[in-house]
Chains A and B, each alone.
Chain A
């Protein structure tokens, strides 16, 4: 059987890939994609725990996470669309209004 630690390790790798991706990509849409990546990594971890601890709560939680991720992706993209409409730029280093 696959040990639980492998699942946790896999989840961590995907999560960190998401984090690194969030930190290094200039395109805002890809940044949102990386957020989804991070969420999925967590989902894997939760389902793995649910399986190995023989409890259903992990799966229920994943259900809700997926729901909220959908809502968040919708709103995030709507904001992005507004931002691009107002600023004309979709790259993070061109949107530096908060520079102080």
Chain B
């Protein structure tokens, strides 16, 4: 068992231990098992990262399960730059969330269960990113979806939480259906599910078409789009984004870990991992880019008017994921992954900070009811502040470098690239606006939540604030590995990714690059200043605007009515069909008919046959004689013919 296998095995062991004996043995100390396991994985991940930095690349099968001719199913690990960065992201955020949860979930009756699910999730995510074949990816994919369901519906007695868990899993399933089809098609046409085989042979499929409903569809485009379906579901892009806001029903550490840093980024990871495939289909890449851009715009506009702090951050995640797909769509996979890496830090920090705020506000989520919290919780405030600066793209902080890289490479990406660049810039402004909206409303001004709550306001315990500080440091500094040459750096991260993800052509001049950078910083600044205007200096403006543009406000407030649309188109017909067709006909008439009908027919038949047993001896004698006569006849016929 080499050290790479230990990375996923340790959390798995923690899961097994906690779920089996956690309740009896560890109770309030269950977090030690999980946290130590993840810490172990974190250390090995760091060592692995430095090994990869020094040039190590590894692709081996740890355990071969099925070997049948050319079909091979195995548990294998592919350690390359992409995996190394993902390992750092997953283990770091997971470790910090574990530490944070020991404070946040203190006293919860399902304490041991929470940590076992966190460990299971970590295991699944690690299997997903470290896999070297599609089956392992799919296994990890489904497993993280399952853990998401467990963790979103953690407080399962609450109906909204249970419903949210179901919604997440079912919506994911829609995406996974396409993903599964894509996997099958890859196996069908390329004959293997190992990455090395796929990437070697994928060029041979170029130009092949497949007949679909009478139309000739390019094969690679079809496969890429099917794979992208899974990413749309998992990463909450349009139109399968509806589960992410509802997923906020889960505990805040869950939102930080799963719906900010790791699970939702699995879609981006998958698209980046399959960059050789996507690069061969410009149609698919265009679809990816446009979907990402539209999602980011869509989510950002909704986030402008929401009042639930976690929901705003959830839509922000949705929007930033759109950025990452935007990047992948224009060929800048490295930039997309770089943004994934920085986003993990500041988004997890935002969520954990929101959790800290909720902790102080005794569970209250409405930012309209908060105010002036920076006096009571300075650490939370400062970390939240830096995270917001980072997400807005203020120079010097992590988000600036990654976002700028994306926007610059999008600008260079042809006509589609320019279109999505425009959308991306607008979204950058909106992002700055709504991120700082939270800060002004929650941390500045006077407290609007009533005297009762005001007495309870306090800073969170160190188990919660220390992760905040660590993440804050990351939110500030994580981007320094990708400083663009324009600003004097050597863009180390782009070179790091180049062997795996390639590098898009950049044919713009330096002056254009300064221009793009300037525009994005200006837009961010305008966003921050506007929000300051609206919420700090002249609080009457948002009110009057919402009245003047009442219709738009209503649409945004109701999230573009997407949930209602889905309910009308999909949920209601399915429910109707379930009750009227499946329950009434299939279950009631057919299955019940068979299950009840067969015994009743047999019983009726038995009732008839039973009359033979009359109890009268002579009836039996008559039967015997009839039989004897029959046999005699038979013998006479057979033996005399």
Contacts and interface: CB of A to CB of B under 8 A. Distances in A.
Do the two chains bind? Answer: yes
Interface in B598-632: 610, 613-618, 621-622, 625
A29 to B, nearest CB: 14
Contact of B613 (A23, A24, A92, A100): A100
A92 B616 contact: yes
Contacts of A22: 618, 621
B625 A23 contact: yes
B615 A98 contact: yes
Interface residues of A, number: 12
Contact of B615 (A23, A24, A100): A100
B614 to A, nearest CB: 6
Contacts of B616: 92-93, 96, 99
B613 A99 contact: yes
Given A19-B625, A23-B622, A23-B625, A92 B617 contact: yes
A97 B615 contact: yes
A91 B615 CA distance: 12
Contact of A100 (B610, B617, B621, B622): B610
Contact of A98 (B610, B613, B618, B621): B613
A24 B610 contact: no
Contact of B618 (A24, A97, A99): A24
17 contacts: A19-B625, A22-B621, A23-B622, A24-B618, A92-B616, A92-B618, A93-B616, A95-B615, A95-B617, A96-B616, A98-B613, A98-B615, A99-B613, A99-B615, A100-B610, A100-B613, A100-B615
Interface string A81-100: 00000000000110111111
Interface of A: 19, 22-24, 92-93, 95-100
Contacts of B613: 98-100
Contacts of B621: 22-23
A64 B617 CA distance: 28
A98 to B, nearest CB: 5
A97 B616 CA distance: 9
Question: Chain B interface: which size bin?
Answer: 10 to 19
Contacts of B617: 92, 95
A11 to B, nearest CB: 16
Contacts of A96: 614-616
Contacts of B622: 23
Nearest to A20: B625
Nearest to B628: A19
B502 to A, nearest CB: 84
A33 to B, nearest CB: 15
A92 B610 CA distance: 19
A23 B624 CA distance: 10
A99 B610 CA distance: 9
A12 B613 CA distance: 30
Nearest to A24: B618
A99 B625 contact: no
A50 B559 CA distance: 111
Contacts of A19: 625
A63 to B, nearest CB: 28
Contacts of A100: 610, 613, 615
A95 B620 CA distance: 14
Contacts of A95: 615, 617
Nearest to A100: B613
Report, nearest first, the 9 A-B pairs whose CB atoms are least far apart.
A96-B615, A99-B615, A100-B613, A98-B615, A23-B621, A92-B617, A23-B618, A93-B616, A23-B622
A66 B494 CA distance: 116
A19 B625 CA distance: 9
B609 to A, nearest CB: 10
B418 to A, nearest CB: 90
Nearest to A98: B615
Contacts of A98: 613, 615
A22 B622 CA distance: 9
A19 B632 CA distance: 16
Nearest to A97: B615
Nearest to B617: A92
Contacts of B625: 19, 23
Given A22-B618, A22-B621, A92-B617, 12 more contacts: A23-B618, A23-B621, A92-B616, A93-B616, A96-B614, A96-B615, A98-B613, A98-B615, A99-B613, A99-B614, A100-B613, A100-B615
